[in-house]
C-alpha cells in the first residue's frame, strides 16, 4: 500500500491560528500546478513497482481554490505515473465558502470521492475569533451541497477550546455536526502556535488565548456525544461511522510509505523522511530546472521507535509491546516498559495482553505521556 499527498498552499487570507505552509495569495497558482505535475513525473519511481496507491489526498492551504480542471490534471498525472487502485480513497480539503453544487459535482466527475470540509465552527463569533473567511451558515450549507452533489463520504473539521467569551454553548458545535450526519468528524483543541496572528495578538493583549480548561471539558463531551451518536473515536482527534475511518490518516499511522508533492510536503519511504522547501518561489524554480530544493534525514532506530509511539498511542489500536520488541529490539522494549509503569496505576492506560491503549482520561494527557515514553535521540547517539 502507498499514499500520495498533494499540497496546495494557497489561501484567501491567513486564519489567526494557522501555522501551516500557506500563502494568502493566488498569483502563482498556474505555475504551481505546472510544478506539481512535473514533480509527480520526476518522482514516479518513488514507490517500488509493486506498490499500489490506495489513497490520494489534496491538503492545504485551500485545495478548493484549484479549478476542477486543475484537480483533474493532477489526478491524471498521479494515475499515469503510479499504480492507483480502482478503489482508492481520493480526498480533497475544501473551505465551506467554495462548496457550491456545480463545483462539487465537477469534483465527483473527476474522481474525488471524499470531501473534507474545514467548517471549524457553526458559531459566528467563534469564526471571527479564528479569522475564518466564511459565516456560520455556510458550514451547514456546504455539507448539504456536498451530499446533494453525490458525496457519500464527507468529513468535517471542528475546533474547540476557544475562550469562553466566544463560546456561548460548549456543546452547540458538536450537536450541530451530529445533526448533519457526516461520515467522519475531526475535532481538534485550539493551540496557540508560535508565529501565528493569534500568538502575536495574545502577546499584545489584543486577543484572548485558548481556554485549556474548556478544551478538556469539550474534548470529553465531544467524545461522549459522538460515541452516543454511533461514531468511533479511532484516533484522539478523529471519529468515524463504521466503515468510514480515513484510510489516508490511517496510512500515516501504519507506517505506509507516502509521497508528498508540493511546497513543504513531506515524504517517507520507510527509511528516510524527505521534505520539499516550503518557499513557494524556490519550489517552483527548483522543479522547473529539474533541481528540486529538498532535504532529507535517514531515520535512526530511535526515530522510528519515537514515530511509532507518537502515532500509535493516539489510535484505538494502541502501543503493542511485542511489536516494539520485534521491530526495535530489547533496548526499546525495556525502555517502554520502564516508562509506562507509572501510568499503569493511574488509569491512563488500559492494558490487554501487552497492548496499551489510552483511556478517555489518559487521552487528555496524551502529549505529556508520549514525551515520557519516547526516547532521547541525542542520548541514543551518545550511547552508541
User: Which of these ranges, 54-62, 165-173, 269-277, 288-296, lies near ligand SF4 under the rule CB under 6 A?
Assistant: 54-62
Say how many residues touch ligand SF4, by CB under 6 A. Answer: 11
Least spacing, CB of residue 344 vs ligand SF4, in Å = 38
Of 109, 120, 118, 112, which Cα lies nearest the Cα of 57?
112
| Whole-number Å distance between alpha carbons of 31 and 38 | 11
| Whole-number Å distance between alpha carbons of 51 and 2 | 6
CA distances, 342 to each of 66, 127, 189, 333, 334 (Å): 50, 41, 26, 16, 14
Q: Which is nearer to ligand SF4, 15 or 37 (CB)?
A: 15
| Whole-number Å distance between alpha carbons of 17 and 270 | 32
User: Which of these ranges, 57-65, 67-75, 183-191, 222-230, lies near ligand SF4 under the rule CB under 6 A?
Assistant: 57-65
Q: Which is nearer to ligand SF4, 22 or 250 (CB)?
A: 22
Q: Which is nearer to ligand SF4, 23 or 172 (CB)?
A: 23
Of 2, 18, 71, 369, the one binding ligand SF4 (CB under 6 A) is 18
265 forms part of the interface with ligand SF4 (CB under 6 A): no
Least spacing, CB of residue 60 vs ligand SF4, in Å = 5
SS3 assignment, position 247: helix
Least spacing, CB of residue 209 vs ligand SF4, in Å = 18
20 forms part of the interface with ligand SF4 (CB under 6 A): yes
Q: Which is nearer to ligand SF4, 88 or 190 (CB)?
A: 190
Q: Which is nearer to ligand SF4, 94 or 319 (CB)?
A: 94
Per the CB < 8 A criterion, the answer to whether 199 and 210 are in contact is no
| Whole-number Å distance between alpha carbons of 314 and 233 | 10
Least spacing, CB of residue 328 vs ligand SF4, in Å = 35
14 forms part of the interface with ligand SF4 (CB under 6 A): yes
**Of residues 74-113, which lie at the interface with ligand SF4 (CB under 6 A)?**
95
Of 4, 11, 146, 187, the one binding ligand SF4 (CB under 6 A) is 11
Give the ranges where 161-288 is alpha helix by DSSP (H): 172-180, 197-203, 212-228, 247-253, 280-288
Q: Which is nearer to ligand SF4, 11 or 223 (CB)?
A: 11
User: Which of these ranges, 55-63, 107-115, 235-243, 350-358, lies near ligand SF4 under the rule CB under 6 A?
Assistant: 55-63
SS3 assignment, position 185: strand
Taking CB under 6 A as the rule, which mask of x and - marks residues 21-40 in contact with ligand SF4? -x------------------
Of 184, 129, 177, 174, which Cα lies nearest the Cα of 154?
184
Q: Which is nearer to ligand SF4, 15 or 56 (CB)?
A: 15
Question: CB-based contacts of 250: which residues, under 8 Å, 6+ apart?
Answer: 234
Of 2, 6, 8, 15, the one binding ligand SF4 (CB under 6 A) is 15
What is the SS3 assignment for 91-112?
A: EEEECHHHCCHHHHHHHHHHCC
What is the side-by-side order of every strand in the sheet holding 319-320?
Answer: 319-320, 355-358, 349-352
Q: Which is nearer to ligand SF4, 22 or 306 (CB)?
A: 22
Residue 378: asked if its preceding bond is cis (omega within 30°), the reply is no
60 forms part of the interface with ligand SF4 (CB under 6 A): yes
62 forms part of the interface with ligand SF4 (CB under 6 A): yes
Q: Which is nearer to ligand SF4, 54 or 93 (CB)?
A: 93
Least spacing, CB of residue 282 vs ligand SF4, in Å = 19
Question: CB-based contacts of 222: which residues, under 8 Å, 6+ apart?
Answer: 158, 160, 174, 187
Per the CB < 8 A criterion, the answer to whether 119 and 154 are in contact is no
**Which three three-digit cell numbers place residue 348?**
491512563
Q: Please report, as ranges, the residues that interact with ligand SF4 according to CB under 6 A.
A: 11, 14-15, 18, 20, 22, 60-62, 95, 118
Amino acid at each position: 500500500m502507498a499514499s500520495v499527498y498533494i499540497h496546495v498552499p494557497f489561501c484567501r487570507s491567513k486564519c489567526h491560528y494557522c501555522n501551516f505552509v500557506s500563502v494568502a495569495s493566488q498569483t502563482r497558482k498556474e505555475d504551481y500546478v505546472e510544478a506539481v505535475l512535473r514533480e509527480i513525473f520526476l518522482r514516479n519511481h518513488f514507490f517500488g513497482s509493486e506498490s499500489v496507491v490506495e489513497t490520494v489526498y489534496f491538503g492545504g492551504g485551500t485545495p478548493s481554490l484549484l479549478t476542477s480542471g486543475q484537480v483533474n490534471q493532477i489526478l491524471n498525472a498521479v494515475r499515469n505515473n503510479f499504480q492507483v487502485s480502482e478503489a482508492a480513497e481520493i480526498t480533497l480539503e475544501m473551505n465551506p465558502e467554495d462548496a457550491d453544487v456545480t463545483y462539487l459535482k465537477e469534483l465527483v466527475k473527476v474522481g474525488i470521492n471524499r470531501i473534507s470540509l474545514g467548517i471549524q465552527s457553526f458559531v459566528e463569533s467563534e469564526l471571527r475569533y479564528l479569522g475564518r473567511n466564511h459565516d456560520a451558515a455556510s458550514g451547514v450549507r456546504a455539507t448539504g451541497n456536498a451530499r446533494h452533489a453525490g458525496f457519500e463520504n464527507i468529513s468535517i473539521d471542528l475546533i474547540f477550546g476557544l475562550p469562553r467569551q466566544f463560546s456561548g454553548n460548549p456543546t452547540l458545535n458538536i450537536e450541530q455536526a451530529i445533526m448533519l450526519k457526516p461520515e467522519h468528524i475531526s475535532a481538534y483543541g485550539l493551540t496557540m502556535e508560535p508565529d501565528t496572528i493569534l500568538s502575536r495578538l495574545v502577546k499584545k493583549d489584543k486577543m484572548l488565548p485558548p481556554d485549556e480548561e474548556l478544551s478538556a471539558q469539550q474534548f470529553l463531551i465531544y467524545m461522549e456525544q459522538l460515541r452516543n451518536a454511533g461514531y468511533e473515536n479511532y484516533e484522539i482527534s478523529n471519529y468515524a461511522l463504521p466503515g468510514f475511518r480515513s484510510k489516508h490518516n490511517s496510512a500515516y499511522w501504519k507506517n505506509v510509505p507516502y509521497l508528498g508533492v508540493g511546497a513543504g510536503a513531506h515524504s517517507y519511504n520507510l527509511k528516510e523522511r524527505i521534505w520539499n522547501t516550503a518557499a513557494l518561489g524556490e519550489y517552483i524554480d527548483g522543479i522547473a530546472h529539474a533541481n528540486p530544493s529538498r532535504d532529507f534525514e535517514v531515520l535512526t532506530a530511535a526515530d522510528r521507535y519515537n514515530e511509532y509511539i507518537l502515532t500509535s498511542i493516539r489510535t484505538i489500536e494502541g502501543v503493542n509491546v511485542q511489536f516494539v520488541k520485534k521491530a526495535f529490539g530489547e533496548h526499546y522494549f525495556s525502555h517502554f516498559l520502564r516508562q509506562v509503569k507509572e501510568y499503569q496505576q493511574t488509569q491512563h492506560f488500559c492494558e490487554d495482553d501487552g497492548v496499551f491503549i489510552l483511556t478517555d482520561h489518559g487521552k487528555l494527557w496524551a502529549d505529556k505521556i508520549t514525551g515520557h515514553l519516547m526516547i532521547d535521540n541525542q542520548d541514543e547517539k551518545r550511547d552508541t
